[in-house]
Chains A and B, each alone.
Chain A
């Protein structure tokens, strides 16, 4: 008899993941994915499966892992509700360009379309929020599809991919052969740059008097932090970051002039409308960055370094698009730009900073009021962590404060939900971040609202011993919505007040050490104790209930109308 080396589709899935260098996956088992979990059991020495407490937690954990490690985050879930619970995380990964591969089980192929138990059209549901998705009904398709999935997730502008595998395909036997995917004929991950565009961009930059760089996560995703730094240092151009671009350049760099956008710094917003050349690098002119497009940088020539052609001229008409990966295009333009310094222009940013410091920052980080402020908590964390921690923030006021004030010394240190603004992101994302960068301090900054959206992941932290530090800034409100209600809805606080439980007790229920700070005199010591702990640690800080985040560009207003109070 001829000897065959046939394995099941389920085992093939595991072997494919190993071939792709995966050593950690986040997931939750269930009926339609049991064959894969059965194989996971056999491969548990090679492939670490983290059982989250909800599939959404698995996606955010995979995102946190991907964002700090640069690797593809992998998620497994069962069919039906298991699959639908992934959708928020997938949508978040899509809009924030996070590489992720989600594998869902599906009912057996003969049951497709029969409304079988836990059947759900996850391909249909996930189509608008995935970079690519595919259903497998034959075991023999598994290696090729998974190879494609990883290639698509991580190449070009990264994004999430979903693979749905019917249960019969998981059981079916097949001959395993794996070949990594390096090209797809209908897909151009990185568009070819044109030297003509680079020449034009260089000319514009060399002749400009008040150039201004706005950069985004493209710098980090392209692993082009060094190239970016060389470019700004040679040209001497002041540079401001989008929320997701933060940490690509260390916070204390003399040319780093702050954060852009709705709650960004004063100078970068106002001076967007004064610069003569605006150089956008790996960012997509999100409405939270641009404010009213009709009045956005109309006086400036705009250069856009971008990997995704669909982003060029999408929101802002640009004069010179430079397509391609910034890893390739920045060194090319570096050769062509003149060494320069824009001292007077840079000083303008500094004077705007001084103004913002006097009117906002000083009161934020060194408050004189009795109640604790969110910003002083971040300042204290900076002082203890020395800017070396990974800061994972959730969504809302605390997020804006964390991103405004956190100090970052190295890249891939700022993990937050930018585009989708997913409350509940931070706690599970912090778990993934800690596992993706086990040697680094990971501090999650979360509001009392978002914390309770994925609080069940304390169970994952307890079970894995994952030493994340959780700081809940508790103001008893859905603070950002409350701030808008105060400013734009005559203080009608509809459904924003939260009567909260004893968070420390809940942490302790999961055997996680916890502490609560109400007074300023205890803040520093509590933060020190938290950071010095080698274990997971929960710290609740009761902050001022009705504090607002400033500066602020009211929705629909111009960037130059940013308000300081």
Chain B
């Protein structure tokens, strides 16, 4: 078994229950694994939620972690994927002084070239949104930084797997029992 640290996207389908986030994060905590990012949202199925968690660990560890997650009563299924096996994106917001938009003509070019959108403009500041891979949002960050970023925030990864996850099937099987 290799000891190489890999980035894994863990996808977890769950019931919508108070405390489940705590229960899932405790599994990482117990193994001293840092969570790189975490998002949770409604999934494609009514009342079923989906966690997307990104961690950097060795493969043997992620296997063990995913099994422990799947074992939790309110978890329907859990998967782990490498970057190659998923389609994933992040969204970043950049808050910049409005003044620089007019003073520095270059900024408009940066926004255009990076295919970012201006979300809002006010007399004091404007907000740019960029969705894409980490390298893209980072590149835009580097380009805007010299002009003074008032705020910067990046969402956790959202991702869908290339393979099918068959959650509806699992639910149907467990309900028919």
Interface residues of A (CB under 8 A from B): 123-124, 127-128, 131-135, 152, 183-188, 308-310, 312-314
Query: How many contacting A-B pairs (Cβ < 8 A)?
Result: 55
Chain B 57-93 interface mask (CB, 8 Å, partner A; 1/0): 0000001100110111111100000000000000000
- Contact A184–B18 (Cβ < 8 Å): no
- Contact A152–B64 (Cβ < 8 Å): no
Q: How far, in angstroms, from A133 to B22 measured CA to CA in the complex?
A: 11
For the complex formed, measure the closest distance between the CB of B166 and the CB atoms of chain A, giving whole angstroms: 14
Q: How far, in angstroms, from A127 to B73 measured CA to CA in the complex?
A: 12
Q: Is B2 an interface residue (CB 8 A)?
A: no
- Contact A127–B19 (Cβ < 8 Å): yes
- Contact B71–A308 (Cβ < 8 Å): yes
Chain B 1-37 interface mask (CB, 8 Å, partner A; 1/0): 0000000000000110011001100100110000000
For the complex formed, measure the closest distance between the CB of A123 and the CB atoms of chain B, giving whole angstroms: 6
Q: Is B122 an interface residue (CB 8 A)?
A: no
B175 touches which of A124, A185, A314 (Cβ 8 Å): A185
- Contact B22–A186 (Cβ < 8 Å): no
Q: How far, in angstroms, from A127 to B27 measured CA to CA in the complex?
A: 10
Interface residues of B (CB under 8 A from A): 14-15, 18-19, 22-23, 26, 29-30, 63-64, 67-68, 70-76, 171, 174-175, 177
Q: A123-B19, A310-B64 are in contact. List 11 more A-B contacts (CB 8 A).
A: A127-B22, A135-B19, A183-B177, A184-B174, A185-B174, A185-B175, A186-B14, A186-B15, A188-B174, A309-B71, A310-B70
Instruction: Provide a sorted-by-A list of 13 A–B residue pairs whose CB atoms are within 8 angstroms.
Output: A124-B22, A132-B73, A135-B18, A185-B171, A186-B14, A186-B74, A186-B75, A187-B73, A309-B70, A310-B67, A310-B68, A312-B67, A314-B67
In the complex, which residues of chain A have a beta carbon less than 8 angstroms from the beta carbon of B72?
Answer: 132
Main secondary structure of the interface of B (DSSP, over half): helix
Q: How far, in angstroms, from A229 to B149 measured CA to CA in the complex?
A: 72
In the complex, which residues of chain B have a beta carbon less than 8 angstroms from the beta carbon of A184?
Answer: 73, 174
Given contacts A310-B67, A310-B68, contact A185 B76 (CB under 8 A): yes
In the complex, which residues of chain A have a beta carbon less than 8 angstroms from the beta carbon of B30?
Answer: 128
B23 touches which of A127, A152, A188 (Cβ 8 Å): A127
For the complex formed, measure the closest distance between the CB of B13 and the CB atoms of chain A, giving whole angstroms: 8
In the complex, which residues of chain A have a beta carbon less than 8 angstroms from the beta carbon of B19?
Answer: 123-124, 127, 133-135
Given contacts A123-B19, A135-B18, A313-B63, contact A152 B26 (CB under 8 A): no
Q: How far, in angstroms, from A442 to B72 measured CA to CA in the complex?
A: 35
Question: Which of B73, B171, B174: most chain A CB closer than 10 A?
Answer: B73
Q: How far, in angstroms, from A309 to B78 measured CA to CA in the complex?
A: 13
- Contact A128–B64 (Cβ < 8 Å): no
For the complex formed, measure the closest distance between the CB of A165 and the CB atoms of chain B, giving whole angstroms: 14
Q: How far, in angstroms, from A127 to B74 measured CA to CA in the complex?
A: 13
Q: How far, in angstroms, from A124 to B30 measured CA to CA in the complex?
A: 14
In the complex, which residues of chain B have a beta carbon less than 8 angstroms from the beta carbon of A183?
Answer: 174-175, 177
